[in-house]
Chains A and B, each alone.
Chain A
Amino acid sequence: MYYIGIDIGSTCAKYAVLNEKKELIRKHVQPTGWSSVETAESIRTQLAESGIPWEEVRSVATGYGRVSVPFADKTVTEITCHGRGAVWLHNSENMTVIDIGGQDTKVICIEDGMVKDFVMNDKCSAGTGRFLEVMANTMALTPSELCELARDGGNTKISSMCTVFAESEVISLIGRGEKKENIAYAVVESIADKVASQSSRMSMNSGLVCLTGGLCECDYLREVLCDKLKRDVVTQPDDRYAGAIGAALMATGIRR
């Protein structure tokens, strides 16, 4: 039997395949593009071509495009999946998961391996991957370039939390000749501040704090978060697949 988790996020679509022994045997990330349905179909084709026999598959779809995966056996929200995936990846039953996704940021409290509580931003995109992406575009950088550049900056602040207003602020900073690294620094600070304020709405337990989702590869952001939360924030390369892995783990519970 193969257990497949498909995470259709707002920016990237990920999938993860577990075998009978719950070992991660395949993972993949691709841009979601404009059509979740087509993305889901392309994932199905890839999986079929990789030689996985479809009759031996149990699958769960998650992410904001979870309803666009008609072949999945079940849908589960990304909050539950990120929680499950992080527990598996970090082998820890009590922890806090910070998932900075394309359009949402969630802080998830895990106790005894289960989601105990969570906070999630509403429709506002402050403190999300989208915020970083918009600012990076304005500065003609990729999001990861912006993050690394930020390390060399300082002494600049963006006060608007709203992405639209913050973008105008960035444009005026560019206009007045502020150094690129300083603007990048201000952008990362703004995201970390928003995430920290979201975390303060929830009582975090004393366990591990881990960063999952697309921004987990931005090491500087992780460092700033450590500083703001006064906690050691850990991450590992597979953490961007936490949602997909969690979904695959949920699929192991499906009985037909």
Chain B
Amino acid sequence: MANYREMWEQLGMDLENHDNLCAVLPTAFGDVYLSQENRPESMDFWDMVVADIHGIRPAELIEEQKKGRKVFGTFCVYVPDEVVIAADGIVTGLCGGSQFWVPDGEAVLPKSTCPLIKASVGARLGKTCPFFRIADMYVGETTCDGKKKAWEILGKDVPMYVMDMPQMKRAKDVTKWMEEVEDFAAVVEKTTGKTITPEKLAESIHIINEKRKALARVYETRKADVIPISGKDALLMMQIAFFDDPERCAQMANRLADELEQRVKDGVSVFPAGTKRILVTGTPMAIPNWKLHHIIETSGGAVVCEETCTGTRYFENLVDETGTTLEEQYRAIAERYMGIHCACFTPNTERVDDILRLAKEYKVDGVIDVNLKFCCLYDTEGYVVEKALKEAGIPVLGIETDYTDADAEQLRTRIEAFIEMLG
């Protein structure tokens, strides 16, 4: 990784502290990922990306910036990539998934803030993540109170634009979100100096839809009786999808899907027969948060689907491509994004419907509903989710955790016991 030091230095990073992060990541990745047997060969792409996670893609982004393009850093699956790409901008995810960044976040945020927000703020203020240094503008949203207030703090350090998320899903809320998308488009146009035309927007809508279809193809293979890919590997693909170029992401996901479809035909599984099929629901798992998947998959279970923002919520449903005017297109975008069922909405019964549907489609033996500590929304909704699953006769285990390893052994006991209970 040494050849990126100059780039990191120019980005104003805290190199000494960043070295500490670089020192632990390969071991963690080796223990969690490379120890797996019979991984799909196409995972080599993602292994390469992780090996130089703070090198390859950041260098690409900087090259594009030199050509005058702008990079927008986002934190949520509700922020429409289509709009940025139509104005020749680039989107990169910015969510922090490591305990490494939490202390720097806690320097300015209450300890009782969710680890995702603390890590994201810490990664910026601690100057230990190149993506957080590269982004020309951060785009936040009002999906929870912790984030809303964190944006105010981040906004002192970096240009920050915040989209106002509706809290309900009535027709007028969809219209309101469409207006928010239009306002955002104006900000993006101003930042990039490029005008969004119906032709360009149609093209970017198509690009992102193709990316969604490719990711969905990989998920589709996980519905098979044989399990062609581990949950950990599928999660890694999803996590990197937030950072990668959307067309390359689609290409790589399609390449992986080809291999997995062949594996299904050939009856190749990465788990022994009888491994319990688990659906994970709840809060997102930003890279490198592999904690829960790793515990599940080393305790006799296999994760076959994630109903999370780093799972189905990211790619399900497409934007209607038939619109020819900007108004029709913004409407189509708003409708697609308002169809994502996050716990920030009330009522949110559609999410429970989704979970019950996914449990059936992926033929799961049990559901593990996980929420990041201090995420009031998912924690509270967990009650409704667990109740609905129990009524449907689907075993469920509720878990609250953070990025530390302090509770790993207790979690292992609970998860092993849950899997034993599945028979």
B413 x A64 contact (CB < 8 A): yes
Interface size class of B (residues with CB under 8 A): 10 to 19
A80 x B420 contact (CB < 8 A): yes
- Which of A64, A77, A120 lies at the interface centre, i.e. has the most chain B CB atoms within 10 A of its CB? A77
Q: What 1/0 mask marks residues of chain B from 404 to 423 whose CB sits below 8 Å from any chain A CB?
A: 00110110011011001101
A117 to B421, CA, bound (A): 8
A123 x B417 contact (CB < 8 A): no
A123 x B420 contact (CB < 8 A): no
Write out the residue numbers on chain A whose beta carbons fall within 8 Å of the beta carbon of B417.
Answer: 77-80, 115, 118, 120
Closest Cβ of chain B: how far from A202's Cβ, in Å?
Answer: 10
Q: What 1/0 mask marks residues of chain A from 74 to 103 whose CB sits below 8 Å from any chain B CB?
A: 001111100000000000000000000000
A122 x B410 contact (CB < 8 A): yes
- Among the listed B401, B406, B407, B420, which residue makes an inter-chain contact with A79, where contact means beta carbons less than 8 Å apart? B420
Closest Cβ of chain B: how far from A212's Cβ, in Å?
Answer: 15
A115 to B423, CA, bound (A): 9
Q: Report the count of interface residues on A (CB-CB < 8 A).
A: 15
Considering only CB atoms, which chain A residue lies closest to B414 in the complex? A120
Closest Cβ of chain B: how far from A101's Cβ, in Å?
Answer: 11
B421 x A116 contact (CB < 8 A): yes
Write out the residue numbers on chain A whose beta carbons fall within 8 Å of the beta carbon of B410.
Answer: 104, 120, 122-123
Q: A115-B421, A116-B421, A122-B400 are in contact. Are A77 and B416 (CB under 8 A)?
A: yes
A120 x B420 contact (CB < 8 A): no
A76 x B420 contact (CB < 8 A): yes
Q: What is the total of A-B residue contacts with beta carbons within 8 Å?
A: 41
Q: A77-B413, A79-B413 are in contact. Are A123 and B421 (CB under 8 A)?
A: no
Write out the residue numbers on chain B whose beta carbons fall within 8 Å of the beta carbon of A118.
Answer: 417, 421
B413 x A78 contact (CB < 8 A): yes
List A99-150 residues whose CB lies under 8 Å from chain B.
Answer: 104, 114-118, 120, 122-123
Considering only CB atoms, which chain A residue lies closest to B395 in the complex? A117
Closest Cβ of chain A: how far from B347's Cβ, in Å?
Answer: 23
- Which of B390, B400, B420 lies at the interface centre, i.e. has the most chain A CB atoms within 10 A of its CB? B420
Q: What 1/0 mask marks residues of chain B from 244 to 257 whose CB sits below 8 Å from any chain A CB?
A: 00000000000000
Write out the residue numbers on chain A whose beta carbons fall within 8 Å of the beta carbon of B421.
Answer: 79-80, 114-118
Write out the residue numbers on chain B whose beta carbons fall within 8 Å of the beta carbon of A104.
Answer: 410, 413
A117 to B422, CA, bound (A): 10
Closest Cβ of chain A: how far from B398's Cβ, in Å?
Answer: 9
Write out the residue numbers on chain B whose beta carbons fall within 8 Å of the beta carbon of A115.
Answer: 417, 420-421
Q: What 1/0 mask marks residues of chain B from 49 to 73 whose CB sits below 8 Å from any chain A CB?
A: 0000000000000000000000000
B406 x A120 contact (CB < 8 A): no
A114 to B420, CA, bound (A): 10
- Among the listed A78, A116, A117, A123, which residue makes an inter-chain contact with B407, where contact means beta carbons less than 8 Å apart? A123
Write out the residue numbers on chain A whose beta carbons fall within 8 Å of the beta carbon of B423.
Answer: 114
- Which of B395, B401, B416, B421 lies at the interface centre, i.e. has the most chain A CB atoms within 10 A of its CB? B421
- Among the listed A64, A79, A120, which residue makes an inter-chain contact with B409, where contact means beta carbons less than 8 Å apart? A64
A79 to B406, CA, bound (A): 20
Write out the residue numbers on chain A whose beta carbons fall within 8 Å of the beta carbon of B416.
Answer: 77
Considering only CB atoms, which chain A residue lies closest to B406 in the complex? A123
Write out the residue numbers on chain A whose beta carbons fall within 8 Å of the beta carbon of B413.
Answer: 64, 77-79, 104, 120
Considering only CB atoms, which chain B residue lies closest to A82 in the complex? B417
A64 to B410, CA, bound (A): 8
Q: Give me the interface of B with A, judged by CB distance under 8 Å.
A: 390, 395, 400-401, 406-407, 409-410, 413-414, 416-417, 420-421, 423
The 5 listed contacts between A and B (C-beta, < 8 Å) are A64-B409, A64-B413, A80-B421, A120-B417, A122-B407
**Other CB < 8 Å A-B pairs besides A78-B413, A78-B417, 14 of them?**
A76-B420, A77-B416, A77-B417, A79-B414, A79-B417, A80-B417, A80-B420, A117-B390, A120-B413, A120-B417, A122-B410, A123-B406, A123-B407, A123-B410
Q: Which 3 A-B pairs have the closest CB atoms?
A: A79-B417, A77-B417, A80-B420
Q: Give me the interface of A with B, judged by CB distance under 8 Å.
A: 64, 76-80, 104, 114-118, 120, 122-123
